[in-house]
Amino acid sequence: RPAAVAAAEAAIKQAEAALETFRINLGYTRVTAPISGRIGRSGFTEGALVMAQQPVALATIQQLDPMYVDVPQSTTELLRLRRRLEDGRLSNNGQLRNKVRLLFEDDAKYPLEGALQFRDVTVDPTTGSVILRVLFPNPKGVLLPGMFVRAVVEEGVNPKALLVPQQAVSRTPKGDPVALIVDAEGKVQQRMLTLDRAIGDAWLVSSGLASGERVIVEGMQKVRPGASVKMVPFEAAGAKKNGEGRKAAPAAVKAGGK
């Protein structure tokens, strides 16, 4: 009898061990994610065989709030910005220098500002750019992984910058940029310009114009330097304000003079 009892106890322990093994194996059927977020579609159906180290993930979970946005910046732009900051043409943007705004593909503005986290130190040799990582709050889930957006990073400010509509600038036979202005006496003068770069539909003017000078935008073919003209204010259709600098006062010629 003692032998029978011992055998029974051994059988019970063996069954308990088997039960614990089954519990452990059952636990492997429940997959718990280490992060919170939104899960996408799965590439597997119920009952499919899965195993460790398989090349295809069961599903992908992505965190949507906050959202990281990686923005490429060309080394040309980066070097130009640094030179302008060093020579004083641009000043640091103070507390706003790490703030970033987003524009969607349809030019609509994302309502929340992002914060610049870091700029990568390695240049991508295929694109000649470095990556800026920006963190955006995304409480409504408007930003989605893989979405194409444009970022506006205000890293430098030129308070004396002047913007002139591109249509107001013409070229001499040598290719030099010029503009026609109207002086205080209502006469046309030609000004040689130094252009920095294009910003939207305007030129950023480095020299040749002063703030408040009246630039002829329409009707330039009707006048020549020295002629007296009458003007009307010019308003481009759908014109938008640009925060990079001030604009010289644009005007359209209403009637030609002498």
Tokens 């919170």 found at: 36
Q: Tens digits of per-residue pLDDT, 147-201?
A: 999 988 776 666 677 888 888 898 988 889 998 888 888 888 888 888 887 877 8
Return the closest-CA partner of residue 180 out of 252, 258, 246, 254: 252
Upstream peptide bond of 55 is cis (omega within 30 degrees of 0): no
Report the distance separating Cα 214 and Cα 225, nearest Å: 14
Could you tell me where in the chain the CATH 2.40.30.170 domains are found?
Answer: 67-157
Q: Please say whether the beta carbons of 229 and 258 come within 8 A.
A: no
User: So what CATH class is 67-157?
Assistant: mainly beta
On whether the 162-255 domain is CATH 2.40.420.20, my answer is yes
pLDDT of residue 136: 94
Confidence label for 94 from pLDDT (cuts 50, 70 and 90): low
CA 32 → CA 36, 59, 145, distances in Å? 10, 12, 22
pLDDT of residue 242: 42
pLDDT of residue 246: 46
Average of pLDDT values for 210-238?
79
Query: Is the full-model pTM beyond 0.85?
Result: no
Report the distance separating Cα 83 and Cα 78, nearest Å: 9
Higher pLDDT pick, 128 / 255: 128
pLDDT of residue 245: 42
